[in-house]
Structure 1
Amino acid sequence: MTIKPIKTEEQYEEALQQIYNLLRTHPQPNSEAGDELELIVTLVEAYEDIHYPMSASDPVAYLQNKMLQNGL
């Protein structure tokens, strides 16, 4: 198991594929595969925090949108 930091979009896509492949095996927590999955997910989250940041939602805008959707 060689795990490296994710620095490029290509590495990011490869990491997502690794996660998919590992999830298909249903790894047990604290097993080698389970630990590998946890590490890769952590690296993907770190990459996403930098390259795909999510802005905080505006609760007032959310309520206004819901009210509009429900005709209120």
Structure 2
Amino acid sequence: MAIKNFYFSQIADLRIEGVGIHASYSVNLTVTDENTPGGKNVSVAATGKSNAAKAAGSGNLLFWCKVKNTVDSKLYV
């Protein structure tokens, strides 16, 4: 079983929301690739978090992604 981890971090420019450049978000992505008797299983897990100025208040972020299977061109959201 092969496991690969990817980490992405980005400064968020949230001027329209009143936060300014004092915010950021990051995503940690883990991809697991396992050979099985019936073929191959691939799983993707992701965790996201944000860091915004406390003066901005509170809220929720919705992290999402699209994964395309290049074998049969299926798209998973």
The TM-score by the shorter chain falls in which range?
under 0.3
Larger Rg over CA atoms: 1
Higher relative contact order (CA 8 A, sep 6+): 1
TM-score (norm 1): 0.20
Q: Which has the higher strand share?
A: 2
TM-score (norm 2): 0.20
